[in-house]
Structures are given as structure tokens and as C-alpha cells.
Chains A and B, each alone.
Chain A
């Protein structure tokens, strides 16, 4: 059976052109970039060329603003913990939102154990943070605001540029987790007005195990990993040369393709959402109707539970994800959906489809058919659906 992969927000397949660019750095050009002889110099050159490429695409003023990390999560950790300890004398207050990725939320929770105070801003029903709420939360002890560019679950895109004006006017640093937006929508650190920005290669057809933290010149960071002078002394450890080359190549390809992919994915997304609503009743779209990542569809099917939907889709060759507790490995459903005000049972019934560049309309039509059958089948055995119908008939 042909598999239909609709979970591109989780990870993406590596583009063959990226693989090709990476391969020599596993074998022929295996040198350690810190070595002074030819093999080392070649590896070092590959890293610095990649850094230049990334700096240019992200609108960085200086290549030293690009720090390669081992993942998007590590970039988030370095941004938040790094700023917290470097600016500890200035203040101890950090502002973030209730819907951040765990890499941000749990880093903040950890800092709270060490004397930092964190404000978790609420979001509205669409997952948006109000810029005024950011302004009101800033105190003279605030050192950092960390807000994600777009949410990984519901795809809501935050007004970062607008928030930046407020944050900068108060002399506070701004970090954005752009893991979901890099390669999906145009992304320029200078236009967004951020001081720190995280991204991860495997979200845009690059390899796993490599990310970037952009840190604007003059932003001080306390390093997390000790033991070497790599990455401007901010991240010890022999560089993942092939990974870094792959990241730069993938970002270059993504940036070059944006003009074509953004409108195409948005069209497929809207087609899919409209079809779901016309074919299945008791459905709710989670996230913002328009301020939304081009490939993101997040819907709740009432009276059924997300994991059972995913199992059924998987049996029919379809890969998607859910915000139900069962799929998070926790007892609670998605913290993002709960923060947006969804009742628990509706959050349990959420399914996220994230479309990628290789998906077609024909695939989506097949998925719609399977989805319609799946929801009908699961509702037929759901006591909640029976009760709902009973109420209607009365």
C-alpha cells in the first residue's frame, strides 16, 4: 500500500539533493574542523560556507550570529538559559506563552527552580498572544521574552514583528522559536526584529540532529556545553559537519522554493479543511482561520478520541498526529488546545494533518474518504455520539 505522509510538522524526509551535498563529509572529507592540516581545513571551510549561506538567508548582519546546535530544542535551551544566566544581574524575569513547545516551557520551569520568575501569557481561542499583554507583563526585572513564531500543533502565526516593537522599546531581548516556520514561510530575523531565533533542519527536508540559534550581535549568552572552542565558545563538541552542510543546503532549497510552495500548500490546506467540513458533521477547526501555517490542518472530531482515529488512518496507510493524551504519553491532552479553551473531550478528539511539498490533491481525496469512514465507524460505537443524537431527537 502506498503510504501517505501527512505529519510534516513532526519531521520531513531528507531531500535527495541534501543527501548528496552531505555524503562527502562522512567519507572523503571526514576531517575534524579544529585540525590545522588539509583535511581539517576542508571541513572548517564547509562549515563556514554553510554559516554564510544561513546568515544570508536569515538576514543576519554577521556570520558570527549563526550558532550551529544539535537540535531546535538545544537552540531553545541555549537561547533561554544562555540569556538568563548572562543577564542575571540585570533581572530575573522571563515572559513566554502557555502554548510554547516543551523545549521552551520546560526550560523556563527549570529556571524557576533557580530563582527566575516566569510569566506564561495566555492565548485567545485561536492561539494568539495579545501584544498588549506582552507590554503589560514587562517589568524592570524582565530580561527576555520568548514567543514562538508559529505553533507546531495548530499552526497559528504570532504577530512577532508587532510584539518586537514593544519589547525593544523596553530594552528587553526577544527570542522566537521558529522551528515550524523556517522553510515554511519567509523568515528574516531583521524583519521580525528578534534578537534570538531557533530553527531545526529536519523540519525543512534537512537531516535530524542539527539546528541553529541565531543570536544578534551583542546578545550575551552563557554556554551550556563546556569543553571546546567550537561555535564561538558557545557550544563545545566536534561539529556535525555533514549535518551542518545538509542544514544549509536544505534551507537554501526551502528559501528558493517558498514562492511556489506557500500558495500551493495553502490551497491544498484550505481545500482539505473545506472538504472535511462539508463531509463530516460536529467538526471544529483548531487554530486561526487565516494566520496559519500553509500546511497545517488541526481539527477536532467530536465524540471520538484522537488515538483511535490515528490507528485507523495508519491501517489505511495514512500518517498523522493527535493532541490526545494517549499520543502524548501523558494523562492530559495537548496543553496548546487546553490553553485555547477547548474542553478536554474536544482536545482528545483532535487530529493534526501537516501537508508537505510532495503531497497531492489526489492523496488528500483518498484521506478524506478514509477519514469520513473512520469517524463514522468510531462514532457508531461511541456512547457520547448516541447521547448527542438522543438529545437532538427529543
Chain B
């Protein structure tokens, strides 16, 4: 039911764990549905310098979280931001149809992490008049 890429990311997840000094953390899903994804980002020079995930969920949920971190790591924020849940699923060679909605939320969690980063970032000082 799963592609080899899904099984690979499920069994050998990349960038799993917490990021202690994250600049932004985003979460998607809920325990009632059985999927929660948390993405941690570290931004340096407007790039995704480091990223990690924690996921409670099925094989697809773990694999999508894992591959998302690989897809955006090192990219500029502007570039990385364009990632969609669909692109994540495609990078895994597809997901079973019933998994497309409930377990494919990694990009949502990532977008929320970037949003949190923007809110956390010290505001640039207003230009002197």
C-alpha cells in the first residue's frame, strides 16, 4: 500500500527530534484524528539552516514529515515557503488516497513554523524620519 520511498522515510526518518534553539515551531493535526506533526525551524541569513520534526501518527504521517525536512532544508525562506502538501506526497511517489487528507499535513506544520518565526523575529527598527 505504501511506496518504497514512504517505507524508507518511515523506517529511517531524517531530521527527527526536537530543535532546542528553534526560531519557529509549527503544529498541524490533532490527536482525535490520530496525527500530530510538529516542525521546528532554525533560520539563518533568510535560509532554512536547520529543521526537525516530531510526529505522532501512521506511516504516511511520519514519512511526509521526514521528507518535508529534506525538501526544504538549505533553501531560502521564500523558496521553501512554496512547498505544498501535494508536492510532499509527490516526492514520496504518491500516497494511498485515504491518506491524502488526514496524514499529509507536514507542509501545513512547516508553514505554521515559518509564521511563528516571523512573529518571533525582532521587528526592524522604524526608519528615522
Contacts and interface: CB of A to CB of B under 8 A. Distances in A.
Given A315-B11, A383-B38, A308 B31 contact: no
Given A311-B10, A315-B11, A383 B36 contact: yes
B32 A307 contact: no
Given A345-B32, A345-B34, A383-B38, A308 B16 contact: no
A325 B33 contact: yes
A263 B16 CA distance: 44
Contacts of A311: 2, 7, 10, 58-59
A381 B53 CA distance: 8
B77 to A, nearest CB: 23
A326 interface: yes
A303 B33 CA distance: 13
Given A325-B102, A326-B103, A345-B34, A380 B16 contact: yes
A28 interface: no
Interface string B16-27: 111000000001
A321 B16 CA distance: 26
B103 A303 contact: no
A386 interface: yes
Contacts of A100: none
Majority-rule SS of A interface residues: helix
A348 interface: yes
B74 interface: no
Contact of A382 (B7, B54, B60): B54
Contacts of A385: 56
B38 A331 contact: no
A250 B13 CA distance: 45
Interface in B1-51: 2, 7, 10-11, 13, 16-18, 27, 31-38
Interface string A352-394: 0000000000000000000000000000111111100000000
Interface string A176-191: 0000000000000000
B114 interface: no
Interface residues of B, number: 31
B94 interface: no
B17 A381 contact: yes
Contact of A305 (B17, B32, B58): B58
B34 A380 contact: no
Contacts of A329: 98
Contact of B32 (A312, A344, A383): A344
Interface in A320-345: 324-326, 329, 331, 333, 343-345
A306 B59 CA distance: 9
**Interface residue tally of chain A, by bracket?**
20 to 34
A386 B7 CA distance: 24
A307 B58 contact: yes
Nearest to A347: B34
A305 B56 contact: yes
A138 interface: no
Contact of B34 (A312, A315, A333, A386): A333
Contacts of B10: 308, 311
A118 interface: no
A304 interface: yes
Nearest to B13: A381
Contacts of A324: 34, 58
Contact of B31 (A306, A326, A344): A344
Q: Which of A304, A305, A380, A384 has the most CB of B within 10 A?
A: A305
Interface in B49-68: 53-62
Nearest to B36: A383
A383 B27 contact: yes
A371 B16 CA distance: 20
B58 A326 contact: yes
B102 A383 contact: no
Contacts of B60: 326
A331 B100 CA distance: 12
Nearest to A304: B56
Interface of A: 303-308, 311-312, 315, 324-326, 329, 331, 333, 343-345, 348, 380-386
Given A305-B56, A311-B59, A383-B38, 19 more contacts: A305-B35, A305-B61, A308-B10, A308-B58, A308-B62, A311-B10, A325-B102, A329-B98, A331-B33, A333-B34, A344-B32, A381-B62, A382-B55, A383-B55, A384-B31, A384-B36, A384-B56, A385-B56, A386-B18
